[in-house]
């Protein structure tokens, strides 16, 4: 499959997600994702489990919108630099390195998150989300889970 087709596949997934059309999302997942797909960032395995994660995301962030800031492809990889915006209205489960697993009750707060995703595509199917790098520090700050202060100007 061409590099442009690989990028188009990722764009279609993002567009369907942004439209919040569950039937279309399921159709695109069935069409583009391998049955044994693995998301190494969230430890989700299998196409059906991905569908369940989408349902949970639609519920927890009803206005979530991803903007692709940049997308590139080489070999069997597609890199996506993105910005998400949304409102935290459902329970969030995550991880803080110094604390471990955390659960946040719905805050109703709006957030913006940036990051980079790397997908691997083989024979026209997405087989892995190999990496996801998210600005979680700022995300947690926006939700009120952590507080950090600016360093003083004379800090060295």
Percent over 70 (pLDDT), the chain: 94
Reported as a pLDDT band with limits 50, 70 and 90, residue 42 is confident
Render pLDDT for 78-116 as a digit per residue (tens, 0 to 9): 999 999 999 999 888 776 666 667 788 999 999 999 999
pTM to 2 decimals?
A: 0.85
CA 6 to chain centre: 18
Q: Which residue do the tokens 């390195």 mark?
A: 97
Close Cβ partners of 10 (under 8 Å, ≥ 6 residues apart):
68, 71, 78, 80, 119, 126
- CATH of the domain spanning 3-143: 3.10.450.50
Render pLDDT for 55-67 as a digit per residue (tens, 0 to 9): 888 888 889 999 9
Q: Which residues pair with 122 in a beta bridge?
A: 125
Please, what is the average pLDDT of the chain?
Answer: 89
């Amino acid at each position: 499959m061409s590099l442009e087709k690989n990028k188009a596949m990722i764009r279609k997934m993002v567009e369907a997600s942004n439209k919040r059309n569950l039937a279309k999302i399921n159709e695109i997942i069935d069409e583009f994702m391998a049955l044994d797909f693995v998301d190494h960032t969230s430890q989700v395995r299998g196409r059906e489990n991905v569908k369940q994660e989408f349902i949970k995301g639609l519920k927890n962030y009803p206005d979530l919108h991803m903007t692709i800031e940049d997308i590139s492809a080489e070999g069997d990889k597609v890199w996506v630099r993105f910005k998400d915006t949304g409102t935290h209205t459902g329970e969030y489960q995550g991880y803080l390195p110094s604390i471990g697993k955390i659960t946040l009750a719905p805050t109703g707060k709006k957030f913006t998150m940036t990051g980079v995703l790397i997908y691997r595509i083989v024979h026209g199917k997405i087989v892995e989300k190999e990496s996801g790098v998210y600005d979680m520090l700022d995300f947690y700050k926006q939700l009120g889970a952590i507080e950090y202060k600016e360093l003083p100007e004379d800090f060295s």
